[in-house]
Amino acid sequence: MTFKEQILQGIPNELPPVKTYETQINHAPKRKEILSDAEKKLALQNALRYFEPKHHATLLPEFKAELDKYGRIYMYRFRPDYEMKARPLDDYPGKSNQAKAIMLMIQNNLDYAVAQHPHELITYGGNGAVFQNWAQYLLTMQYLAEMTEEQTLVMYSGHPMGLFPSHKEAPRVVVTNGMVIPNYSKPDDWEKMNALGVSQYGQMTAGSYMYIGPQGIVHGTTITVLNGFRKIKKSPQGSLFVTSGLGGMSGAQPKAGNIAGCVTVCAEVNPKITHIRHSQGWINEIIENIEDLVPRVKKALENKEVISIAYLGNVVEVWERFDAENLTIDLGSDQTSLHNPWAGGYYPIGFTFEESNEMMANNPQQFKEEVQKTLRRHADAINKHTAKGTYFFDYGNAFLLEASRAGAAVMNENPTLGREFKYPSYVQDIMGPMCFDYGFGPFRWVCTSGKPDDLAKTDAIACAVLEEMMQSAPIEIQQQMADNIQWIKGAQENKLVVGSQARILYADAEGRIKIAEAFNQAIAKGEIGPVVLGRDHHDVSGTDSPYRETSNIYDGSRFTADMAIQNVIGDSFRGATWVSIHNGGGVGWGEVINGGFGMVLDGSKEASRRLESMLFWDVNNGISRRSWARNEGAIFAIKRAMETQPLLKVTIPNIVDEHLL
């Protein structure tokens, strides 16, 4: 069968051969035993409803074996034989180019070079899933290939509910992930519902089909590192940045350190992902022995090298040994997946990677105790460095939250509302006041032709738009504009592409609209193929996350999620091709609500109208909320937006004199 025929087939009528379990692939760890016998029966019933009754006797023992061995039913037998990658738009079957673009984005999320655990349909973060099983993938791709532009596909946590009558202006796909009743948002609730096959953790851009590999995080990480050094008034050259994690998001850190120009040490316990990042050029060197790491770092600092070093081991060893050696760490952070601390997001010190995985599956209580013991030790080592001048920030991965729950010494001795922890989140000190409040966030695009030339052309178009805007930009956003121009000019030489021909560029609403319109005009002229627009959920407006995206909201509303819900509703009727809303994200199940979108530009007048309407709302919804929280930069930005758009009228807060209070 051809690729198109396989897509159109969906779930095959006849069972494909059983697949060999490929040991060289980076697989998800076994999930803990959490279902009762009655619930296991229910999980099997839930899985078998995708298949005709004639196959149930064959599949039942197979699915039971998967559930027993891995803690989930992935349906490995149904994994496609074709290569999983983003193909040019014309390679996909279908009646709608919008639907074809979504198929492209789904396959990119599962590309072996992109996905963390591709055979388990997990893109990043240890549990950030595109689908729960392979039947869902096959059925979704079939629906997308069949749909017209007067239908909408409804996705329930990876399950394609079906195609519903709709209209051309409606989204082609509406996605929800993990949207459970609030009282059932504890980690074990997710474990149980996911094992039952009724809910999934979509992370942010995994379950919304908008992940573009570590590049998607590199730009924001570069901005964070650069501004971290600016904050402490140090040049990156000859300075040291220490962190951990080389996964789908955290893997961006060493590349960002190189772009910023410092020495980066990034610890990772997983050998496979460490070597993958090295082969992709995201890290320069791997060191497996702490005795070798110390002299290498000292030499790099002395010579002011721009280098990234992966330490294959536990990051606590690095913090403790560098303290003993009196080796100065200028910037410090952590980007392990602590939103998922008991299922592979963070590993305890004193055990091999294999020993930890075995303990996680077979003795989860001991694993939890060892993780919490390690968190306390981790925090103690950080405290010793910060006492000597290190600037440490929480990287929005729930490090401080989980460390506090473990009883670590991370609480502020004199807490204020929103500043309960000893250390700030990077959004509080850097990204919030410098970027999000002014509307700057991770705008991204994908060239559906798959041609590197098209990506180069879009880079040039975006750069020209920004340089023109820079000439009249107010002083308040000059630095942001300059950083973004520098980024896009260096995008090609930094070899950021993994998977699809994609780019990320921090921009405000004006920049996003002007860049998108310039793309649409180039498409209309035949200079480039169609382009998919999107963004990270980690943005100005799409995410309510009290310990990350909205951690610099101090009016008491940081635990509310109105903004994220309003964002996805507003995007859906202003022209988005697909919209998504998730529980979970990068800080944990029950800790955040986040939403995203995708929009296909095809060179039409309709696309021009939609992009202006939707992108303006997508950013300014968030600026309005930040303005109402009395954030100075956001008040400036929303007043400026009202000057340019007479139909915009936003409620502005009145500021109370502190002396009166």
pLDDT digits (tens, 9 = 90+) for 156-213: 999 999 999 999 999 999 999 999 999 999 889 999 999 999 999 999 999 999 999 8
599, 610 contact by CB (below 8 A) = yes
Query: Does 439 share its domain with 466?
Result: yes
Per-residue confidence band for 217, with pLDDT thresholds at 50, 70 and 90: confident
What's the whole-model pTM score? Answer: 0.90
Instruction: Decide if pLDDT at 367 tops 90.
Output: yes
Average pLDDT along the chain: 95
Domain count, the chain: 3
Residue of 381, 383, 407, 392 lying closest to 320 (CA atoms): 381
Give every CB contact of residue 472 below 8 A, 6+ residues apart in sequence. none
Q: Let me know if residue 203 belongs to a domain.
A: no
Read off the pLDDT band of 93 (50, 70, 90).
very high
Q: Which residue has the tokens 């409606």?
A: 170
Asked if residue 494 has pLDDT above 90, the reply is no
Per the annotation, where are the binding residues for NAD(+)?
125-126, 203, 268, 395, 586
Residue 416, pLDDT score: 87
Task: Point out which residues pair with 177 in neighbouring strands.
Answer: 582
Instruction: List strand residue ranges (DSSP E) for 62-190, in order.
Output: 122-124, 128-129, 151-156, 159-165, 173-177
Angle of helix 215-231 versus helix 478-489 axis, rounded to 10: 130
pLDDT band for position 520 (50/70/90)?
Answer: very high
In a domain, 657, yes or no: no
Confidence at residue 348, expressed as pLDDT on a 0 to 100 scale: 97
Residues 399 and 450 occupy one common structural domain: no
Q: Which of 22-26, 133-137, 586-590 has the lowest mean pLDDT?
A: 586-590
What was the pLDDT predicted at 587?
Answer: 85
Same domain, 455 and 563: yes
Q: Does the CA dihedral 212-439-542-416 come out positive or negative?
A: positive
CB 203 within 8 A of CB 545: no
Check residue 78 and report its DSSP letter: G
Residue 43 lies in a domain: yes
* Cβ proximity of 204 and 536 under 8 Å: yes
Say whether both 58 and 191 belong to one domain: yes
Q: Is residue 661 part of a domain?
A: no
pLDDT score at 493? 84
pLDDT of 358 strictly over 90 = yes
Is beta strand 531-535 parallel, antiparallel or unpaired with respect to 593-601? antiparallel
Q: What is the pLDDT of residues 48-91, one digit of tens each?
A: 999 999 999 999 999 999 999 999 999 999 999 999 999 999 99
- The predicted-structure confidence for 426-457, as pLDDT tens digits, reads as follows 999 999 999 999 999 999 999 999 999 999 99
Specify the higher pLDDT residue, 217 or 108. Answer: 108
Task: Say if residue 222 is in the same domain as residue 240.
Answer: yes
pLDDT at 379: 98
Bridge-based pairing of strands 419-421 and 173-177 is unpaired
> 614 and 481 in one domain?
yes
Question: Has residue 104 got a pLDDT over 80?
Answer: yes
Residue 315: give its domain's CATH number: 3.40.50.10730
Same domain, 525 and 641: yes
What is the crossing angle of helices 478-489 and 452-470, to 10°? Answer: 160
The annotation places the binding site at 125-126, 203, 268, 395, 586
Question: Which has the higher per-residue pLDDT, 172 or 343?
Answer: 172
- What CATH number does the domain containing 44 carry? 3.40.1770.10
pLDDT(249) > 80: no
Clarify whether residues 411 and 437 are in a common domain.
no
Q: Residue 252 is part of which domain span?
A: 214-426
pLDDT of residue 408: 97
Instruction: Please report whether residue 549 resides in a domain.
Output: yes
Average pLDDT over residues 344-352: 94
What is the average per-residue pLDDT within 363-392? 97
CA distance 502 to 399: 30
Q: Identify the pLDDT of residue 149.
A: 95
**Placement of tokens 């490090």 in the chain:** 399
Instruction: Identify whether residues 419 and 438 lie together within a single domain.
Output: no
Look at residues 616, 648, 437 and name the one whose alpha carbon lies nearest to residue 513.
Answer: 616
Q: Reply yes or no on whether the pLDDT at 248 is more than 80.
A: no
Q: Are strands 240-244 and 263-268 parallel, antiparallel or unpaired?
A: parallel
Are residue 405 and residue 440 in the same domain, yes or no? no
Residue 274, classified by CB atoms within 10 Å of its CB into exposed (0-12), middle (13-18) or buried (19+), is: buried
Clarify whether residues 91 and 221 are in a common domain. no
* Selected residue with higher pLDDT from 49 and 124: 49
Q: Is residue 475 in a domain? A: yes
The CA distance from 617 to 623, in Å, is 10
pLDDT the model gives residue 280: 84
Domain annotation covers residue 467: yes
The residue among 426, 444, 471 that closes a domain is 426
Query: Would strands 411-416 and 543-544 be described as parallel, antiparallel, or unpaired?
Result: unpaired
Residue range 475-485: average pLDDT?
A: 92
Residue 218, domain member (yes or no): yes
Residues 419 and 463 placed together within one structural domain of the fold: no
**What is the pLDDT, as a whole number, of residue 491?**
85
What's the per-residue H, E or C state across 477-489?
Answer: HHHHHHHHHHHHH
